Amino acid sequence: MDYTVATDLVTFHHPAFWGKGTNAELRSWLDGHLDQFWSTVLTTLVSTGVKGLELTFSPGSINDVAKCFGSGLAFKSELDRRGLRVVSAFIADGPKWDTTTDLAVVVADAQRRATFLREVGAEILVASLPMRRTFGAKPPLFVDHTFMARMADIAHVVGEAVSELGLKLAVHTESNSTLWYERDIDLFMVMTDPCYVWLCPDSCHISLGGGDPVRVAQKHNQRIILAHWKDASGPITENLVIDQTIYEQQQRYMVNFGSGVVDWRGWAAAMKRTPGKDIALIELDAASDPIGQLGAGTQLVANALNDRL
């Protein structure tokens, strides 16, 4: 089957790949070397055979692209020259759906991103629902019908707004968020219109929540326009502190492809039945060896999609 292997640029956020000792050192270095970051990332992608990329957290964000290349069209020209393309962008630094009181601000931010993505030839804008609160925190956050109805209302407005620009809104299943457990996903899917709101399941994060990513993919296959392929060590059984460090805390549960609990044969079979079947997006959260790990991931994807596992 024909498909594009892509990766989320968070793959390149490990300080060791850049010869740095800590994340703080890497962030400090990047302030004055954004052009070197992009040159290295794009050259590395070409060397691995990965053809697609998902824009994400800084320094791999839409804002960083604009700062480094000047415009989406200039960035697309550089990608075209290298045989690469943007497939999607994840809203990592936008207005928060649970705290922003002016919905127009959320919509304007999504439209700005959609306009950029249209310039670079991408069709998918990925968002996530708000994070849960630490278990036991006061006041608690109950992810109930009332809460999810509010999230569905926002998703509908955003999804409709970006659809006018030719984009599709896909909502990502993030660990410790309000779209983490299988029950969360089922509730959100039944409350949203499939014409305007799509799903971006992440095989790792669903597993970390104790769910079955294959079952999720099978159940909601016609809503999946994009999926993140990532392996997991198993469910998170402790109550993590949900603060600004939550993404770093979760990384210890993410493992190399093929060494975790994800059923790749079942996942690949389910992906073939989705509208997003032409993209296999490998996500490696801060890989110390992105070349080797992307190569291994690309091979696993090929084996899984061609039923050679």
The predicted-structure confidence for 71-122, as pLDDT tens digits, reads as follows 999 999 999 999 999 999 999 999 999 999 999 999 999 999 999 999 999 9
CA dist., res. 86 & res. 83, Å (int): 11
Tell me how far apart the alpha carbons of residues 275 and 195 are, in angstroms, rounded to a whole number.
13
Q: What is the pLDDT of residue 257?
A: 86
pLDDT surpasses 90 at 230? yes
Q: What is the mean pLDDT of residues 112-139?
A: 97
pLDDT higher for 89 or 258? 89
pLDDT at 309: 79
Q: Residues 187-193: what's their mean pLDDT?
A: 98
Q: List Cα–Cα distances, 272 to 13, 83, 163, 192, 288, in angstroms.
A: 30, 24, 24, 23, 30
64: pLDDT strictly greater than 90: yes
- Angle ∠(30,34,35) on CA atoms, nearest 5: 145
User: At residue 66, what is the residue type?
Assistant: A
Note the pLDDT of residue 256: 87
**Structural domain 4-305, CATH architecture:** Alpha-Beta Barrel (3.20)
* Cα 197 to the center of its chain, rounded Å: 15
Supply the pTM of this predicted model: 0.96
pLDDT exceeds cutoff 90 at 60: yes
What are 67's two structure tokens?
A: 């700062």
Sheet holding 197-200, edge to edge: 197-200, 168-172, 124-128, 85-90, 52-55, 4-8, 279-282, 228-229
User: Mean of the per-residue pLDDT values for the chain?
Assistant: 96
Q: What is the pLDDT of residue 212?
A: 98
Q: Does the pLDDT of residue 285 top 90, yes or no?
A: no
State the pLDDT at residue 289.
94
**Greater confidence, 196 or 2?**
196
Q: What is the mean pLDDT of residues 166-178?
A: 98
How would residue 258 be classed by pLDDT, with cut points 50, 70 and 90?
A: confident
Residue 277 clears pLDDT 90, i.e. is over it: yes
> What proportion of the chain, given as a percentage, has pLDDT over 90?
94
